[in-house]
């Protein structure tokens, strides 16, 4: 199984007040916003694809995200 690679960028537009609140909450937990977003994405993928999602998503024969 391939290892997750952090090479793709995701740009998200968000209300500045929500961004500030999110960043403050992340700081309280000693996490970066990127760590929290990655956790949320993994949870969403698992919710939609099930516990075996890594075998479906992280296969070496899939093209990389652009």
Is 41 within a domain? Answer: yes
CA distances from 58 to 34, 42, 52, 64 (A): 19, 12, 11, 10
Q: Is residue 53 a contact partner of residue 45, using CB atoms and an 8 Å limit?
A: yes
Average pLDDT, the chain: 86
Q: What domain range is 43 assigned to?
A: 16-57
Band of pLDDT at residue 65, cut at 50, 70 and 90: low
> pLDDT tens for residues 24-50?
999 999 999 999 999 999 999 999 999
Is 62 within a domain? Answer: no
| Count: domains in the chain | 1
The model's pTM is 0.75
Is 37 within a domain? Answer: yes
pLDDT at position 1 is 39
């Amino acid at each position: 199984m391939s290892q997750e690679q952090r090479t793709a960028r995701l740009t998200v537009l968000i209300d500045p007040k929500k961004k500030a609140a999110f960043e403050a909450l992340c700081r309280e937990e000693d996490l970066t916003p990127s760590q929290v977003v990655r956790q949320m994405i993994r949870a969403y993928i698992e919710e939609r694809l099930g516990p075996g999602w890594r075998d479906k998503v992280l296969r070496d024969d899939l093209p990389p995200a652009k």
